[in-house]
Structure 1
Amino acid sequence: MSQKQLHSTEELNEFVAGAGKRLLFKHSTICPISTSAYEEFQSYLQGNDVPAAVILVREDRPVSNEVAERFGIKHESPQIFLFENGEVKWHTSHWKITKDAIEEALKA
Structure 2
Amino acid sequence: MAIKQLTSTEDMNQFVQQSGRHLLLKHSTTCPISAKAHEEFQAFVEETNTSAAIVFVIENRPVSNQIAEDFGIKHESPQVFLIEDGKVRWNTSHWKIKKTSLKEAMSE
TM-score when scaled to structure 2? 0.98
CA displacement, residues 9-57 of structure 1 (integer Å, 9 cap, x when unaligned): 0000000000100000000000000000000001101221221000000
Name 2:40's counterpart in structure 1: 40
- Identity value in percent: 56
CA RMSD, Structure 1 to Structure 2 (Å): 0.6
User: What amino acid does structure 2 have at the position aligned with 1:99?
Assistant: K
Name 1:23's counterpart in structure 2: 23
Deviation at 1:2, TM superposition (A): 1.6
Unmatched 5+ residue regions in structure 2? none
Name 2:103's counterpart in structure 1: 103
Deviating 4+ runs (over 4 angstroms): none
User: What amino acid does structure 1 have at the position aligned with 2:100?
Assistant: D
CA displacement, residues 34-91 of structure 1 (integer Å, 9 cap, x when unaligned): 0000000011012212210000000000000000001100000000000000000000
Name 1:71's counterpart in structure 2: 71
Inter-partner Cα distance in structure 1 for 2:75 and 2:21: 21
| Equivalent pair of 2:45/2:51 in contact (CA under 8 Å) | no
User: What amino acid does structure 2 have at the position aligned with 1:67?
Assistant: I
Inter-partner Cα distance in structure 1 for 2:47 and 2:75: 29
User: What amino acid does structure 2 have at the position aligned with 1:69?
Assistant: E
Name 1:12's counterpart in structure 2: 12
Q: Number of residues paired by the alignment?
A: 108
